[in-house]
Amino acid sequence: EDQVTQSPEALRLQEGESSSLNCSYTVSGLRGLFWYRQDPGKGPEFLFTLYSAGEEKEKERLKATLTKKESFLHITAPKPEDSATYLCAVRPGAGRRALTFGSGTRLQVQP
Amino acid sequence: DTEVTQTPKHLVMGMTNKKSLKCEQHMGHRAMYWYKQKAKKPPELMFVYSYEKLSINESVPSRFSPECPNSSLLNLHLHALQPEDSALYLCASSPPGAANEQYFGPGTRLTVT
């Protein structure tokens, strides 16, 4: 059974304090690992897709990396506007389009 | 147009009402999805349409009835819902291809009284 586990469940940072969020996964035939950002009461906003171990993607203060068992979302010098829930999702192989989501990490960045 | 739109933004309905949620995208995506999300939980897949045909139904109760009239439009018809069906209902779409990312709409906040 496909499984996605995110840690920590919640994270509070001071503005400028860099950190990483973890996404561990067990999936048969990974077709893609996705990171989303979700603000309260809104739909998830797509951030990155990673396809294979060793791949890295960057966007502003965010950098996503992928190994064979986990993905990290590194946040460098975060700002209060980075506060949100960050969701990790995987798409398994065998043509199945459905994503399996982790429970998310609720990030709060204090000024 | 690079977004998924959903209407209404908020909906309050009684258990005997019939209502519909609407989702629209004009990005040429051929797969569309309905998700349900409860507070502080991840989205849970309900239905997947691929090329206007229902391809996945995640054992959703029949009081939820999806419809895909064309490649740009997805509806979710609601009838005889229960209070526990109150949630954020998210629509998403994805382009043709392999590991394709899904783009989500802003959601409809549904309250069943």
Percent residues over pLDDT 90 in chain A: 82
pLDDT, tens only, A30-63: 889 999 999 998 999 999 999 999 999 999 999 9
Does residue B98 surpass a pLDDT of 60? Answer: no
- pLDDT for B57 equals 86
Report CB contact under 8 Å: B103, A46.
yes
Residue of B104, B110, B111 best to disrupt the A interface, most CBs of A under 10 A: B104
Q: What is the mean pLDDT of chain B?
A: 92
Q: Which helix (H) or strand (E) holds A58?
A: strand A56-59
Q: Is A12 helix (H, G, I), strand (E, B) or coil?
A: strand
- Which amino acid belongs to residue B10? H
Report CB contact under 8 Å: A91, B31.
no
Q: Identify all chain A residues contacting B56, using CB atoms and an 8 Å cutoff.
A: 97-98
pLDDT, tens only, A69-108: 999 999 999 999 999 999 999 988 766 667 889 999 999 9
What's the rounded Cα separation, in Å, for the pair B83 and B40? 18
A8 Cβ contact partners less than 8 Å away, ≥ 6 residues apart: A21, A22, A105
Report CB contact under 8 Å: A46, B45.
no
Residues A46, A34: contact at Cβ < 8 Å? yes
- pLDDT for A96 equals 65
Does residue A10 surpass a pLDDT of 70? Answer: yes
Does a cis peptide bond (omega within 30 degrees of 0) precede residue A92? no
Residue B56 CB-half CA count within 13 A: 17
Q: Which two tokens stand for residue A79?
A: 């700002």
Does residue B99 surpass a pLDDT of 60? Answer: no
The residue in chain B having the minimum alpha-carbon distance to the alpha carbon of residue A96 is B56
pLDDT, tens only, B18-77: 999 999 999 999 999 999 999 989 999 999 999 999 988 888 999 999 999 999 999 999
What's the rounded Cα separation, in Å, for the pair B5 and B23? 6
Helix-strand-coil split of chain A, %, nearest 5: 5, 55, 40
